[in-house]
């Protein structure tokens, strides 16, 4: 889109710069980023909210959608370390059953005052996420830090079930919180900086 006063302009001067190109594809990222850098491939899929609405309408057939992602990773990952993650527990189960090369982490917000709750009970507490992860035979859980800061004993509960525990959220952009989370023994901390 060009401004009206740019009469006759057919393209911006710097349109061809690499930084101004569309987001890279998964294949491009797998090919360009050094294979020594591991990937957390978070699969996005709509979830039903507790109020009955959906985050968005999913435009793809789920099996086909996951098969395309798995195929791309198997063909282009080389020796890269990869972990799949998703908020949708059924997708975590499907990823676990459709391939056996890469581990799966269940993303959960748990009890949150920041995010509206999902309808699926497996997402509403760390304890439910632990039970689901153990029963689905997946690597672990990736919990919203807000819930872990409120009750760090949940980390121990997950580890007692031999689960790997990561955390995510805006709280992780604070250095003091990161120090605390490392001290209590998390396996991974996802943050922006």
Alpha-carbon gap, residue 23 to 98, rounded angstroms: 27
3-class SS of residue 39 = strand
Supply the pLDDT for residue 13: 63
Supply the pLDDT for residue 135: 96
Residues whose CB is less than 8 angstroms from the CB of residue 141 and which lie 6 or more positions away in sequence, other chains included: 105, 106, 107, 108, 126, 129, 130, 133, 158, 163, 164, 165, 166
Supply the pLDDT for residue 60: 77
pLDDT tens for each residue of the chain, 193 residues long: 445 555 555 555 666 666 667 788 999 999 999 999 999 999 998 888 888 888 877 667 889 999 999 999 999 998 999 999 999 999 999 999 999 999 999 999 888 888 888 888 899 899 999 999 999 999 999 999 998 999 999 999 999 999 999 999 999 999 999 999 999 999 999 987 6
Supply the pLDDT for residue 153: 93
Supply the pLDDT for residue 57: 75
Task: Provide the whole-model pTM.
Answer: 0.83
Supply the pLDDT for residue 7: 58
Burial annotation 49-87 (CB, 10 A radius, 16+ → b, else e): eeeeeeeeeeeeeeeebbeebbebbeeebeebeebbbbb
3-state secondary structure 102-154: CCEEEEECCCCCCCCCECCHHHCCHHHHHHHHHHHCCCEEEEEHHHHHHCCHH
């Amino acid at each position: 889109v060009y401004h009206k006063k740019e009469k006759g302009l057919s393209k911006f001067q710097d349109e061809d710069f690499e930084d101004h190109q569309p987001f890279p594809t998964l294949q491009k990222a797998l090919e360009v980023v050094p294979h020594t850098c591991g990937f957390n491939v978070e699969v996005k899929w709509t979830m039903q909210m507790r109020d009955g609405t959906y985050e968005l309408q999913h435009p793809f057939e789920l099996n086909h959608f996951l098969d395309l992602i798995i195929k791309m990773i198997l063909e282009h990952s080389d020796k890269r370390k990869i972990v799949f993650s998703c908020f949708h527990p059924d997708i975590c189960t499907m990823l676990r059953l459709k391939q056996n090369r890469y581990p799966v982490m269940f993303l959960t917000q748990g009890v949150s005052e920041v995010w509206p709750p999902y309808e699926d009970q497996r997402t509403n507490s760390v304890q439910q996420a632990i039970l689901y992860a153990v029963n689905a035979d997946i690597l672990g859980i990736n919990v919203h830090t807000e819930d872990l800061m409120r009750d760090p004993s949940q980390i121990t509960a997950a580890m007692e079930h031999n689960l790997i525990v990561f955390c995510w959220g805006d709280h992780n952009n604070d250095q003091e919180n990161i120090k605390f989370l490392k001290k209590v023994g998390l396996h991974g901390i996802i943050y922006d900086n």
